Structure 1
Amino acid sequence: MADAGTESSPRSQPKPSDQEGQASGETKQGGWITLPFIAGSMVGLGLAINGTTSNLQIYLIKEYHVESIDAAQIANIVRGSLNFLPVAGAILSDSYLGCFPVILAGAAINVLSFVLFTLSAALPSLRPPHCPAPSAACQRGTAGQLAVLYAAVSLLAIGTGGTRFNVATMGADQFGGARDQDTFFNWYFVFLYASFLIGDTAIVYIQDGVSWALGFAVCLAATAFSLVLFLLGTRYYRMPAAKGSPYSELARVVVAAVRKAPVHVGALGPVWYYVGDNAVADSAGEGAPSKRLSFLNRAAMITTTDDPMDDASGGRRASGWRLCRVQQVEDLKSLLGVFPLWSSGIMLSVSIGVVIGMIILQALAMDRSLGPRFKIPAGSITVCSLVAFIAVTPVLDRAVFPLWRRITGMPPSPLQRVGLGHVVNIAGMVVAALVERRRLSVVRAHDGADAAAGWVTPMSVLWLLLPLGVVGIGEALHFPGNMAFYYLEFPKTLRSLATAMAPLLIAMGFYLSTVFVDVVRRVTAWLPGNVNHARLDNVYWTVAVAVTLNFGYFLICASRYKYQNQSTTVVM
């Protein structure tokens, strides 16, 4: 995880060391004194948010009597939002407000979210009457009750949007040297995954096994503690000002190229391009834009109506909506060039979203006893994927990749790691299908096909550790590999966007997995309300075929990709 953490720090700009700054009297903020405040607030938020989202599907089924497949769909939409909205939060802090106010607002919104969650569980008037066993006869939530619940969910997503990426960025901003930043990110991931583990186990157990109201109250206390702890460190924080949006420059390139679309290039004679700093380049000279996506080159092309000179003070001329620098054009080309490979990861994320949603339903219908007195909460079963991710990462880093280097003479490139992740993910879908086929055979053997939805298959839930473990190993390969690839290939001005590309894949995967499941429900009879009547094995086989075809698409994209970073090994 150290590598992934290091790669997530690009939004931090080099600064003088803390010691130098303090010696010169420039600043007394920043440094390791801020770690307890930042890391402590992150742990409180992480365990509350992750524990609640992991158990949301169960809460909808048991307390609001939502049909199981619909609950899985809703939970996946929420998971997608939790990975998508932080991208908006990162852009907002980078471009306009800075990290501190965005984190503060996000933490406060999370507190309000858990106030509503706690009230929904504690007040009988805010949820439907209790129903002993889920069935069609159970009363569904009223419009008012669902409005309170969905308001809590929406606030949770919005609050997470302000905190999830920005906490890491603000932590890195406290340090002036790359070594300290690297060490911070090592600790960041330790605390982050520790909070996820606590949330997926302790919080889920309290909510599902003891009391939903108590579980949400613990989350409320954790988020309130996080907010207070974060505020206590205010006087120690270094708070760099936002430097403006790099995304507007991309928009300027598109607008400038479109505005010059009617210009006939051949009629201009020699074509000159604006480089910046009082410099221009002809179409064949050094500094000219590349030939790929040549239409965009018009944005930097100098015409009679353009003024390529810098301002009178000698500073670089601000980019306009008609004339852009060559580097701005190349930055947009780099972004567009990565998109085919990025799109090849969408189906990978869809498969993970389908498995996470469906496997919780399987857990509800299986024997979750672990000893005579303890029953594994269904919402905690997905933590096995996280454990596999954490366990296999150091093995890959310390054993597998060094062995690869000794055999091939070079370490695996990011795209090679992503490709291996595709293969392991395919294996995970196959294992999921085989485990479900075995579960259904046990159902038929015990005449469970005609049983009620609450009937428990006499098969241990520990069987589900197999597909979850394989999927977690695949994530340990393709998730850090994707992040490393985007970080290497994106231009420096867009590296905040680069770190957001992999989470965007997760968001897209959860959103589209709901579409996939909805299509399956409409065109097949594989997903009735009773999971013991369902054919989840067919769903998993379909996903396995889809991700196999998608792997072929990935290979095509990888083989045709032209690296911007020439030191990156070309693969596939």
Structure 2
Amino acid sequence: MEADGSLESRQESHLGFDHESLKEPRDPEKRKGGWITFPFLAVAILGLGLATGGALSNMVVYLIKEYNVPSVDAAQISTIISGSISVAPVAGAIVADALFGCYPIVAVAMALSVLSLIMFTLTASIPTLRPAVCQFGAGQPCDQASTGQMAALYGAVCLLCLSAAGARFNQATMGANQFDASADRDVFFNWYFIMLYASSVLGATVIVYIQDTVSWSLGFGVSCAASVVGLGALLLGARYYRQPAAQGSPFTGLARVVVAATRKRKVNLVASEELKFYYGIRSTSSSEGDGEVISDGNLAPTDSFSFLNRAAAITDGDVDGADGRAVRPWRICTVQQVEDFKTVLRILPLWSSAVVLSISIGVQINFTVLQALVMDRAVGRFTVPAGSMFVGSLISVVIFLGLLDRILLPLWKRLTRGHTPTPLQCVGVGHALTVASMAASAVIERSRTATVRAHGEEGNPAWVSPLSAMWLLLPFAVAGAGEALHFPAQVTLYYQEFPPSLKNTATGMMAMIVALGFYLSTAVINIVQRATTWLPDNMNASKLENLYWLLTALVAVNFGYYLVCAKLYRYQNIGK
């Protein structure tokens, strides 16, 4: 973007849209990309987010009411689906980086989203694809779904997971690829997250309301229409997109370090005085995509995790003597690749503490839906869908992010004479708020079960407590405030601390946190079900309060673990 110093130019830059970028550039190599691609990408992002949110937000209720799945099992299934949706984009990003580039993967993924929503709509529209209707909470046993009926449903879920794998991360990367200036990329990323949250809120409110009050088939149909519009917008903008060639995944370099160090485990680094280390090929041209990492020849391997230094030690046959290229790339790595891998290892303890946060939040989201089903969800004449309750967390994140940016952080800087909270400090406060959120869920559940006992309705699974379900928004609000602190702070920490070759790994690490948290939360629930009687299918006879107190203790202990890790961690690129 040209900067001429004029007021008009500065205003355009501030808004993020540069009229000059819409004109035909003189350089034919840069005739594509720029803000002209934004409308197409925006509609594609919103369409996919709305479709996914509309399909998954009410999944617990859909399984219970239409497939006669026991409530706890439905929560478990929904948790596994959420975990798969979260982890799949990591694989999609690797495939796009290493093989095909972003645009082809995103286009195929959005086509799969359309097919998935068509299948969801069919399961809701064709009676033979579901078991016989059974009134929720009735005393008579319900017919279970057949293998074929569940296969149709799970087929739709699998297609949606594949869609998320190809599109979620790659949409962001594809958008960033359209811009040369880092300021433009920053503006795009801001809009990307705004659209991601906005589409999630719309899916979890408007579409869920249609599913609950009109029909499931219409609700899924609206999601399908959104997916079709998103795919159409993406394809219409194809002639404007930059499509950089695939340049290989950074994960490959990490894997090579492990393999090379393992294969050279017998190399004695101390005894070999003439041992040399590999620094890559000296070249004035870009080395992207050639598999070699150019590093500083004066950089000696650090002493931490010294066993990994074997991966960069040159042994017979590793390097071509003529041009210095690695002959056996899975046996020799550059010193820089080894140091990059060490950076990941140093940050893993902090990363692992965030997984426990995700476990507790995964349990809270799905069991709050079950709580809401047996609580008073009326707000005036409007009945809030149970599947929309977690929207409180999304709204809390947005509101708290605004408060942080405009009020809380400026006030903090004023009180501390210009001190800016470090990423680790922000993450720590997020941990503490998550502890408070789990405790709040336990207290509210205690109040709900007290009304059940007071009315003697423990044996009636259909009885609805007069306690307002709006109380469930309080724990979500606290959890959302915590997420607004720890989620962006973790992304900042990973992005700034990782070396340039691994910047994109930051997003992948966050996805793995969410995915592992959802998967491990199902394991926690399975253990609780096997070891206790807290979670029967009848929520009015359950002891869910005990589960929440268990989670409170778990995240509190994890908070202590995090404090130890944070105390021992030393920033590499962020000022202390």
**TM-score when scaled to structure 1?**
0.91
User: Paired residue for 1:8?
Assistant: none
**Per-residue displacement from partner, 1:78-121 (whole Å, max 9, x unpaired)?**
11111100111111111211110110111111111111111111
Show the counterpart of 1:474.
482
Q: Counterpart of 1:96?
A: 99
CA pair 252-123 structure 1, distance change in 2 beyond 3 A: same
Letter in 2 for 1:307: V
Structure 2 counterparts to residues 106-185 of structure 1, below 5 A: 106-135=109-138, 137-185=141-189
Superposition pairs of residues 81-92 of structure 1, within 5 angstroms: 81-92=84-95
Q: Which amino acid aligns with 1:233?
A: G
Q: How do 1:468-507 residues align onto structure 2 when only pairs under 5 Å count?
A: 468-507=476-515
Rounded to whole Å, the distance in 2 between the matches of 1:104 and 1:232 is 11
Asked whether the equivalents of residues 310 and 317 of structure 1 are also in contact (C-alpha less than 8 Å), the reply is no
Q: Deviations over 1:185-228 (max 9, x none)?
A: 22222222111111010000011111001111111111111111
The AA in structure 2 aligned to 1:442 is T
- Give the secondary structure class of the aligned counterpart of 1:528: coil
Alignment partner, residue 450 of structure 2: 441
Q: Which residue among 356, 361, 372 is the counterpart of 2:365?
A: 356
- 2:279·2:335 contact (CA, 8 Å) conserved in 1? yes
CA distance in 1, matches of 2:136, 2:191: 44
Asked if 1:369 corresponds to 2:378, the answer is yes
Given that residues 317 and 327 in structure 2 are in contact (C-alpha distance below 8 angstroms), is that contact kept between their aligned partners in structure 1? no
> Match of 2:6?
none
Determine whether 1:186 maps to 2:163: no
Q: Deviation of residue 355 (structure 1)?
A: 0.4
Structure 1 equivalent of residue 431 of structure 2: 422
Contact 2:309 2:338 in 1 (8 A): yes
Does residue 229 of structure 1 match 2:233? yes
1:558 — aligned with what? 566
Structure 1 residues 526 and 310: CA distance shift in structure 2, 3 A: farther
After superposition, residues 43-442 of structure 1 pair within 5 angstroms as 43-135=46-138, 137-277=141-281, 286-307=298-319, 311=323, 320-372=329-381, 374-408=382-416, 409-442=418-451
Deviations 1:162-203 (Å, cap 9, x if unpaired)?
A: 111111111111111011111112222222211111101000
* C-alpha distance 311-217 of structure 1, shift in aligned 2 (>3 A): same
SS of the residue corresponding to residue 329 of structure 1 reads helix
* Residue 536 (str. 1) matches residue 544 (str. 2): yes
Is the partner of 1:251 in helix, strand or coil?
Answer: helix
**Distance in 2 of aligned mates of 1:289 and 1:229:** 49
* CA-CA distance at 1:340 after TM superposition: 1.1
Q: How far apart are 1:47 and its partner, in Å?
A: 1.0
Whether contact under 8 Å (1:311, 1:317) holds in the other structure is no
| Residue of structure 2 in register with 1:568 after alignment | 575
Give the Cα separation in 2 of the matches to 1:133 and 1:334: 52
Q: State yes or no: 1:462 paired with 2:466.
A: no
Counterpart of 2:59 in structure 1: which amino acid?
L
Q: What's the offset of the Cα at 1:298?
A: 1.3
- AA of the residue aligned to 1:36: P
Alpha-carbon offset, residue 322 of structure 1: 2.6
Counterpart Cα distance in 2 of 1:36 and 1:266: 59
Distance 1:57 1:325, change over 3 A: same
Counterpart of 1:539 in 2: which secondary structure?
helix
- Give 1:450 deviation, angstroms: 2.6
Aligned-pair RMSD on alpha carbons?
A: 1.9
The size of the alignment, in residue pairs, is 542
1:276 to 1:319, Cα distance in 2 relative to 1, 3 A = farther
Distance 1:229 1:164 in 2: 16
1:226 alignment partner AA: G
What runs of 5+ residues in structure 2 fail to find an aligned partner?
A: 1-19, 284-296
Distance 2:566 2:320 in 1: 38
Distance in 2 (alpha carbons) for counterparts of 1:57 and 1:150: 14
In 2, the alpha carbon distance for the partners of 1:114 and 1:267 equals 63
C-alpha distance in 1 between matches for 2:88 and 2:225: 24
3-state SS, counterpart of residue 278 of structure 2: strand
Aligned residue type for 1:160: A
Q: Which residue identity is paired with 2:358? A: S
Moved more, 502-511 or 183-192: 183-192
Return the offset for 1:420.
Answer: 0.4
Q: Deviations over 1:369-394 (max 9, x none)?
A: 1213x211000011001000010101
Shift of 1:20: 10
Q: Distance in 2 between matches of 1:242 and 1:48?
A: 28
Q: Does the residue aligned with 2:456 lie in a helix, a strand or coil?
A: coil
Q: TM-score, normalised by structure 2?
A: 0.91
Tell me the distance in 2 between the aligned counterparts of 1:182 and 1:321: 36
**1:3 alignment counterpart:** none
Mapped contact 2:76–2:522 kept (Cα < 8 A): yes
- Contact 1:278-1:310 at 8 Å conserved across structures: no
**d(CA) in 1 for partners of 2:328, 2:410:** 46
- Identity between Structure 1 and Structure 2 (%): 50
Q: 2:499, 2:243 → 1: CA distance?
A: 24
Once residues 316 and 527 of structure 2 are traced to their aligned partners in structure 1, the CA distance between those partners, rounded to angstroms, is 55
Given that 1:302 and 1:308 are in contact with CA atoms closer than 8 Å, whether structure 2 keeps it comes out as no
CA distance in 1, matches of 2:570, 2:477: 34
2:41 is matched with which residue: 38, 43, 46? 38
SS of the equivalent of 1:458 reads: strand
In structure 1, distance between residues paired with 2:57 and 2:126: 22
Q: Is the 8 A contact 1:48 1:219 kept in 2?
A: yes
2-structure distance, mates of 1:182, 1:309: 44
2:258 and 2:202 map into 1 onto residues whose CA distance is 46
Q: 2: distance between equivalents of 1:244 and 1:318?
A: 18
Separation (CA, whole Å) in 1 of partners of 2:494 and 2:136 = 48
